[in-house]
Amino acid sequence: MNSIQKKIWTLAAVVLFIMVAIWTTLTYYNQKTQNQYNDILQRYLRLNEVTSASQQTTTALYNYLLTPTEDNLDQLNLSKEKTRKAKIEVIDLRNTENDFTLTNYMNLIDSLVETTDRSLMLQSEKETEDSAKTFTEATRISKYISDMTLTLLDTDLKTYDRFYRGIIEQSAELKKLGVWLLLLITSLLLLFTYWFSLSITRPILKLTQAAKELSRGRFDLQIEVESNDEISFLAKMFDRMRININNLISEIQQKAQLEKELQQNKLLLQESQLRSLQSQINPHFLFNTLNTLSKKAYLEGSEETSDLLVSVADLLRYNLKRLDRSVTLYEEVKVLRQYIEIQRARFTERLQFYSEIDEACLHVQIPGLTLQPIVENAVIHAVEPEENGGAIWFRIVDSGEWVTIEFEDDGPGMTELKIKQILEEHLVETEGHSTGIGFSNVVRRLRLFYGLEDVIGIESGSGRGTKVILKIPKIRGSEKYDKAPDRG
Amino acid sequence: MRKTVILVLGVVCVVLFYFTFVTADKVFRSDWQMPQTSDHKQAKYRLVLITQELGTSFWDKVGSGALEEAQRAGASIQVWGSYSKNQEDFLKKIEIAIDSKVDGIIVQGLDSDEFKNLTKIKAAFYGIPIITVANDVPMAESLRRTYVGSDQFMAGQMIAKQLLSDMGTEGTVILMGDSRQEDYQQQRMNGIHDVLKQYPKVHMEYAETLDTSEQVMATTKDLMNRLPEVDAFIAVNANITGAMIQEIGKRSQVEPYHIYSFDDSPETLSLLKQGKLDGMIEQSPETMGRISVNLMIKWLSGETVPLDTDGYLTDIRMLKATEAR
């Protein structure tokens, strides 16, 4: 986990590293330069030392020759020693340019020492004149040494000319380097800081925007934060929260939808029940009367009439009972047959009813009183108005997951508008239905029962007859119809 | 916006980085190392060539010949000396060379006591061999090992013969020399005498002068006043040639006179080219330099012991104005 703290540390480390690197380099460079300066100064100092030592020697010699005391001799020996030491130190100054001169120089120093010794020796042998002469020579040699020191210095200056100029140029360059370095580090730090602050503030900004959107109620925007620190974690959690809220809201919406549907269902039921209640007084009386009539007809030997009356009575009973619960297709088909019986008695030859039934499909659950109103509709529109009657085909076909129930008549058919009205459940007609239940009611109930819109289809056209197709799923998707309170 | 800022900063950084790098490179590049302290083997012999007449083309040639030979032989040599015959400086240089204990000294001979003193006593004391070059000082007086240079006696003879062939066996000749009477001048003079004495009709007039140009001019004037019938001039010392010709030119045309000199002066060659000088003796300075160094090394390494004390003579030839032009 890359944390913000780590980022800050990285920045600090980078800055520290740059500073340490620069410090080290500059210190090293400074040391190097100083060493070189020391070397240069050393050269001059050493050469100068030779000159002064040689002069000291001649002075000491002079003093000794003048007053040969022990003190002066010590002094002389001391300065001679000094000259010798200076000579040894001068050896280091040798380079290709001054090789020749330096050798001469060193030999001159030797000559000086030798001459001095010779002068001393002559002095001790009391040859004062020769000694004085040798002293003059020593003085001359000392002068030559000074001269040659100058020559050497001159050569050095010439040899090191480029070197010295290099040093000057370099110090100028060093100044420039300082400025450039300052600028470079400034801009590098700016860049780093900008990038660094962006990497922190950008995710926060995104998060802020996302929060704003959420507060406005938009839960469908995904929160994406490209970052590798804690803010990314925060954003992820925030996104999860958003998804949860979104899910909860949609659940609530679904529930509300369900509630609404349930309400509608209840209203429909109430309407149906009202209708049935309205006709309940009559039916009960009628039912009893019909039973009596049936028995009477049977007793009088009119069996056909008796059966018809029983059918009517059964139909009535069925109507009264089965409105608000699901029944099997089998029961529905049975009721349908009784209804056809009754209608046959009415229309005799004018009504031709053909049925093809796949017995295997009859266990399917279906809302009560759905088939009969449709057939009744066909009878009313296709058979009743026609002088020659009409034919009705009724089929139950197994088609895989579905059971297809078809009602077909050869009547005048329906207009497009009518079909649309029916399918959109507009309550238009209630013309003389025996059950009092209209086509629209059936459509509505079927849709509610199966939760499917295309459970019913109508094919029709002017003069082509009408074909109503019900597609009943063998397994019901929803059981909600059953859960509705029983109001039988 | 953000991209622009980063881009601009990035570009600035790159540019600054470049400049910083360039400057740092300049600062830290170590091409200004101290000159190498010489580890290489020191030259076997340290020689010094000392002359009184530094800067003249004659001695430049001697020097270059010597340097060339020394380099070839692996010896190191330096050319020291004084300018325009500054004797004091010249002698000082010799003394320094001796005190510096060089391995060998090649020197332009100077016929003076100080010079002889230095070479004979001091150099001998330190055991430093001396070879004279171009101008000789007799061995007895200088203890030189040998002499390398022209045969001045023969040069005198050549110039006299040339004079005779140009002028004929009759006429007046003015010989002019430096009053310092150096050995080589004497030799030349002897050579000239040696030839001319056989022709009694050639009248010789010898004059000495100091080598300042005023003195030379005064002497020339004086001589020409005394000897108006003079036919020829011989400047036995090349250094007085310029002033002499200048003075002659003041009085009359230079062309009718036969004027001769030697080449060991910077002016003579240009005078010859101008036609003012009728002829001069050309010596071989480069050969002198070369041979002297060669002999010195041979002596030091013990290859040729002893050296020919009479000297090793180099070529001389007569250069006439007609050839030089």
Q: Please write the tens of the pLDDT for every residue from A198-213.
A: 878 888 888 888 888 8
Identify the pLDDT of residue B107: 92
Q: Do A94 and B38 touch (CB under 8 A)?
A: yes
pTM above 0.90, yes or no: no
The answer to whether residue B36 neighbours chain A at the CB level (below 8 Å) is: yes
The yes-or-no answer to whether B46-150+285-315 and B152-282 have a common fold is yes
Instruction: Give bridge partners of residue B80 from the DSSP assignment.
Output: B50
Residue B53 pLDDT grade (very low, low, confident, very high; cuts 50, 70, 90) = confident
Residues of A with Cβ-Cβ distance to B66 under 8 angstroms: none
The answer on pLDDT for B50 being more than 90 is yes
CA distance A81 to B262: 53
Residue of B nearest to A35 (CA): B34
Q: Is B97 exposed, middle or buried (0-12, 13-18, 19+ CB in 10 A)?
A: buried
CA distance B265 to B285: 12
Residues of B with Cβ-Cβ distance to A167 under 8 angstroms: 32
The answer to whether residue A391 neighbours chain B at the CB level (below 8 Å) is: no
The answer on pLDDT for A484 being more than 70 is no
CB A435 within 8 A of CB A319: yes
Average pLDDT over residues A458-473: 85
Percent over 90 (pLDDT), chain A: 12
Q: Do B16 and A187 touch (CB under 8 A)?
A: yes
Give the tokens for residue B211.
């080598």
Identify the pLDDT of residue A478: 47
State phi, psi for B78 to the nearest 5 degrees: -125, 145
Average pLDDT over residues A225-231: 77
The answer on pLDDT for A332 being more than 90 is no
CA distance A432 to B124: 168
Helix (H) or strand (E) run with residue A200 in it: helix A161-215
Identify the pLDDT of residue B191: 92
CA atoms within 13 A on the CB side of B177: 19
The answer to whether residue A190 neighbours chain B at the CB level (below 8 Å) is: yes
Helix (H) or strand (E) run with residue B286 in it: helix B285-301
Q: Is A216 exposed, middle or buried (0-12, 13-18, 19+ CB in 10 A)?
A: exposed
Q: Do A194 and B9 touch (CB under 8 A)?
A: yes
Residue A488 pLDDT grade (very low, low, confident, very high; cuts 50, 70, 90) = very low
Q: What is the ipTM of this complex?
A: 0.76
CA distance A206 to A228: 14
**B215-264 tens-digit pLDDT:** 989 998 898 888 888 889 999 888 888 888 888 888 878 778 889 998 77
* Residue B264 CB coordination number (10 Å): 26
Name which of B104, B114, B157 is nearest B137 in CA terms: B114
Identify the pLDDT of residue A482: 45
A383, amino acid identity:
V
CB B184 within 8 A of CB B214: no
In sequence order, the 6+-apart residues with CB closer than 8 A to the CB of B118 are B91, B94, B95, B98
CA distance B98 to B105: 8
Identify the pLDDT of residue A481: 45
Report the mean per-residue pLDDT for chain B: 86
The answer to whether residue A108 neighbours chain B at the CB level (below 8 Å) is: yes
Distance from CA of A147 to the nearest CA of B (A): 10
User: Which of B23, B96, B101 is the closest to A173 by Cβ?
Assistant: B23
B303, amino acid identity:
E
| Domains present along chain A, CATH in parentheses | 4-159 (1.20.120.1730), 350-487 (3.30.565.10)
**A31 compared with A5, residue with greater pLDDT:** A31
**B260-286 tens-digit pLDDT:** 998 777 778 888 888 888 888 888 889
| SS3 of A267-310 | HHHHHHHHHHHHCCHHHHHHHHHHHHHHHHHHHCCCHHHHHHHH
- Cβ under 8 Å to B: A residues 432-471: none
The answer to whether residue A261 neighbours chain B at the CB level (below 8 Å) is: no
Helix (H) or strand (E) run with residue A354 in it: strand A351-357
The answer to whether residue B5 neighbours chain A at the CB level (below 8 Å) is: yes
Q: What CATH number does domain B46-150+285-315 carry, 3.30.70.100, 3.30.300.30, 3.50.30.30, 3.40.50.2300? A: 3.40.50.2300
**A21-54 tens-digit pLDDT:** 989 988 988 898 899 889 888 888 988 999 999 9
Residue where the block lists tokens 């040998």:
B146
The answer to whether residue B27 neighbours chain A at the CB level (below 8 Å) is: yes
CA distance A265 to A485: 11
Residue A280 pLDDT grade (very low, low, confident, very high; cuts 50, 70, 90) = low
CA distance A140 to A135: 9
User: Which of B5, B17, B100 is the closest to A104 by Cβ?
Assistant: B100
Average pLDDT over residues A464-474: 86
Distance from CA of B97 to the nearest CA of A (A): 8
Instruction: Give bridge partners of residue B148 from the DSSP assignment.
Output: B133, B312
- Cβ under 8 Å to B: A residues 201-220: none
CB A22 within 8 A of CB A215: no
CA distance B132 to A366: 149
Q: For the structural domain made of B152-282, what CATH number should be given?
A: 3.40.50.2300
Distance from CA of A19 to the nearest CA of B (A): 15
Identify the pLDDT of residue A487: 39
Task: Indicate the domain borders of chain B.
Answer: 46-150+285-315, 152-282
